[in-house]
DNA sequence: TTGTAAGCGTTATCAT
DNA sequence: ATGATAACGCTTACAA
């Protein structure tokens, strides 16, 4: 129904061979000026565009890369994608975005489709459900270019780009401690994710350095990234219902911080008077949401850029790469002035 | 470097012809059970995947559709994309997302690339800069399936899906009026965009129905969707610097509402005491940001779904379609209780 | 039941 | 300077 013009059409119309037309179009020198002009003008007039599919088939590359993330409705990821696009665009690559919605199965389906040769490389941040990497291993062993960012795995040896989650978590927790909080809960993503592990370690270290005992009842995981009924809400409620109720919550992750605010608001819990809040977030709004909210911001855009540069390097390298980099970018902590004063309760 | 297995490889290994292998793989009946078993098992073992590029070339379709939006870091669009994906996934289509970043040129580049046959159809929400549609016209005239949503144009006759921007704007404005505000400014997107026009009309109508004179000094456009330096900030400042300062702002669009909050906060302007705020937004946070904030929410997910259904209908229709639908979905207004009481100033 | 060959759009190689 | 041909991976008449 929609029949675009091809080289063959041009050749027929002009009484030339397809190869001549092809050469004229790509500006080959071994062609007479007049034939070239003829062809180019005809192509122009009929708005000829080379068929990228045919090109991909021929060149065995698509000049496109795919990003696999859990959700684009997450400030961290949408910012990372902007970084990815900025580099890809400059290097002549198209970017295909696909969402796993935190589902292992969906992640597999997407990766299968994309990797089976419609993209030249993969930029992956693992879904919350994923704890099995055979699929990536297969691809990687065959030499298919993959770069992990943010939620990575140690089981695959390739380039990786992460934020310094340990330090970020350490810093927020310390800020809460400095502000006078002692019963600090930690609401985080699935326990096995790299980001969860690193953040938990940072949190524990900050407690330890300040002689605050670690209480594992204070750690709640949202294993499905909040994709399942009211996972976050339940987690928060169960924290608030503890006999020894926490006086602060450190939330790991943009979406968790956002839901935390939403749920606490809905429950009419005063922040920070009843429970203080601090956490990872890249939301442009979070900073100004509540006075007293300390926020760790990930260098999302830069992470996207860096990961893309590494991926393209991988794609364009002639021989198999054996040396892989792991790049750790620093997070930034924004402490709101007012968070320093905790209302003296039993002092 | 990464050499996936092909039908040809299987044929050679098994001493069969490629056509036999192809048939066995797609479960054709005209094949002996044992050959089939042999082929299927071999394919399984070596993890054969058909090359989607070759398939596209053959079938002259890619089973993928593209979405062209200005920004995915916009709650309305990320939600709409989720709606798009949900339908596409069920119908066996892949979704390619591309961002124009409100640039006409970038929009053109994306559309050119995508439409030149790597996708079967286009879902478009126009960039703020776009006021020239020849490019879409060309595609559309050739029968290339396009569905516009949200930011549409009358110049192209095809399916369209929009929110009832007029009514939404009317309702928010009326809510502000009912809450006692009389000097209501309107901060909105580029003047020529369909959404801007409709929202302006709704705003004007609400003023008119309540005998409030329209003041064009109170209308500010952000022509670049805030992609350019501090466009929004300048607009807001100039509103606040008017001799007859507005007592409320109605912001059109998710991103504008978000920046409005951010900028007012930064300028230390009290909301709603100094200036009340109400506007379009799909942010999960906006509702709880400030007491007294009335929000119009667009049915983003449903719009995405509807647009995708229409697009797939277009793609899969045998003959040229001549009857086009324009579907208008209702917005929802969330009024916060506290917004009803305006502090009595000179009463 | 299986194989042969053509074709999808393009480019590279080898003639001419 | 130009043309014929093969190849990229796959499906599908058409033959056998």
What CA–CA distance (Å, rounded) separates B163 from B182?
A: 26
Structure tokens at B66: 């593209």
Mean of pLDDT values over B212-227: 90
As a whole number of angstroms, the distance between CA B226 and CA B42 comes to 56
Find, in chain A, the residue whose alpha carbon is nearest to that of B49: A116
* Residues in A 195-234 with any Cβ partner in B closer than 8 A: none
pLDDT grade, residue A2 (50/70/90)?
low
**Between A and B, how many CB-CB pairs are < 8 A?**
121
Of A116 and B302, the structure prediction assigns the larger pLDDT to B302
Measure, in angstroms, how far nucleotide D8 C1' is from residue B26 CA.
21
Mean pLDDT over B325-342 rounds to 77
CA of B66 to C1' of D9 (A): 24
**Segment among A33-37, A324-328, A342-346, B87-91 with least mean pLDDT:** A342-346
Contact B51 A4 (CB under 8 A): no
pLDDT for the residue numbered B225: 74
pLDDT, one tens digit per residue, over A215-227 is 999 999 998 877 7
In this prediction, residue A125 carries a pLDDT of: 98
Strand, helix or coil at B161? strand
Checking if the pLDDT of A16 tops 80, the result is yes
Average pLDDT for A314-323: 88
- In DSSP terms, A250 is beta-bridged to A186, A278
Under an 8 A CB cutoff, do B138 and A79 touch?
A: no
Check CB contact of B270 with chain A, cutoff 8 Å: no
Q: Which nucleotide's C1' sits nearest to the alpha carbon of B56? A: C8
Q: In this complex, is the C-beta atom of A45 within 8 Å of any C-beta atom belonging to chain B? A: no
Rounded to a whole number, what is the largest CA-CA distance in chain A? Answer: 95
With a cut of 80, say whether residue B99 has pLDDT above it.
yes
Rounded to whole angstroms, the distance from the CA of residue B24 to the C1' of nucleotide C1 is 11
Classify residue A143 as left (phi > 0), alpha (psi -120 to 50) or beta.
left
**A51 at B interface, C-beta within 8 A:** yes
* A21/B contact by beta carbon, under 8 A: no
Task: Give B66 CA → D2 C1' in Å.
Answer: 39
Among B59, B72, B79, the residue to mutate for chain A (most A Cβ within 10 A): B72
- Are A2 and B317 in contact by the 8 Å Cβ rule? The answer is no
Prior bond of B86 cis (ω within 30°): no
User: What are B161's two structure tokens?
Assistant: 């899906």
Q: What is the pTM of this model?
A: 0.89
Question: Which positions of chain D lie under 7 Å from any protein Cβ?
Answer: 1-13
A210-214, B56-60, B153-157, B202-206: which range is least confident on average? B56-60
Residue B28 touches partner A, C-beta closer than 8 Å: no
Query: Among B53, B262, B320, whose Cβ lies nearest the Cβ of A117?
Result: B53
C-beta of residue B53 within 8 angstroms of C-beta of residue A117: yes
What residues in B contact A2, CB-CB < 8 Å? 142-145
- Model confidence pLDDT, tens digit, residues A192-205: 999 999 999 999 99
Assign A109 to helix, strand or coil. Answer: helix
Is A99 in CB contact (< 8 Å) with chain B? yes
Tokens read off for B300:
């983003």
Distance CA A259, CA A253 (A): 10
Residue A273 is predicted with a pLDDT of 87
The residues in B 132-151 lying below 8 A from A, measured between CB atoms, are: 138, 142-145
Q: Is the pLDDT of residue B294 over 60?
A: yes
Which nucleotide has the least CA–C1' distance to A53?
Answer: C9
What was the pLDDT predicted at A347? 32
* DSSP per residue, A243-305: TT--SEEEE-SHHHHHHHHHHHHHTT--TTTTSEEEEE---TTHHHHSTT-EEEE--HHHHHH
Domains of chain B (ranges, CATH numbers): 7-49 (no CATH), 53-163+299-329 (3.40.50.2300), 165-298+333-339 (3.40.50.2300)
pLDDT in tens, B159-212: 999 999 999 999 999 999 999 999 999 999 999 999 999 999 999 999 999 999
Indicate yes or no: CB of A53 within 8 angstroms of CB of B51.
no
Give which of B248, B242, B258, B192 is closest to B221, Cα–Cα.
Answer: B192
Cβ under 8 Å to B: A residues 318-337? 320
Q: Which residues pair with A299 in a beta bridge?
A: none
Closest by Cβ to A258, choosing from B56, B117, B285: B285
């Amino acid at each position: 129904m929609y029949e675009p013009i091809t080289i063959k059409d041009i050749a027929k119309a002009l009484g030339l061979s397809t190869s001549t037309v092809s050469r004229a179009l790509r500006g080959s020198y071994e062609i007479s000026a007049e034939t070239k002009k003829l062809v180019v003008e005809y192509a122009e007039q009929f708005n000829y565009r080379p068929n990228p599919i045919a090109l991909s088939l021929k060149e065995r590359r698509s000049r496109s890369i795919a990003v696999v993330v859990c959700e684009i409705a997450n400030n961290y990821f949408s910012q990372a994608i902007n970084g990815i696009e900025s580099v890809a665009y400059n290097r002549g690559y198209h970017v295909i975005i696909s969402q796993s919605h935190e589902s292992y199965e969906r992640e597999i389906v997407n990766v299968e489709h994309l990797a089976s040769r419609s993209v030249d490389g993969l930029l992956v941040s693992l879904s919350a459900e994923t704890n099995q990497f055979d699929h990536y291993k297969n691809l990687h062993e065959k030499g298919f270019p993959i770069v992990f960012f943010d939620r990575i795995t140690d089981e695959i040896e390739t380039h990786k780009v992460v934020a310094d989650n340990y330090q970020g978590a350490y810093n927020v927790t310390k800020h809460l401690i400095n502000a006078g909080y002692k019963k600090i809960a930690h609401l985080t993503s699935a326990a096995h994710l790299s980001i969860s592990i690193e953040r938990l370690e940072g949190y524990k270290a900050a407690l330890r350095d300040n002689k605050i005992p670690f209480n594992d009842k204070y750690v709640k995981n949202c294993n499905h990234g909040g994709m399942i009924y009211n996972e976050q809400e339940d987690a928060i409620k169960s924290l608030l219902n503890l006999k020894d109720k926490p006086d602060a919550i450190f939330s790991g992750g943009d979406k968790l911080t956002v839901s935390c605010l939403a749920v606490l608001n809905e429950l009419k819990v005063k922040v920070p008077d009843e429970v203080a809040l601090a956490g990872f977030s890249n939301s442009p709004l979070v900073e100004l949401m509540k006075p007293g909210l300390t926020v760790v911001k990930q260098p999302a855009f830069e992470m996207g850029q860096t990961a893309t540069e590494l991926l393209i390097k991988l794609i364009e390298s002639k021989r198999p790469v054996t040396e892989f980099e792991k790049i750790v970018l620093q997070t930034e902590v924004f402490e709101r002035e007012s968070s320093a004063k905790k209302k003296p309760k039993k002092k």
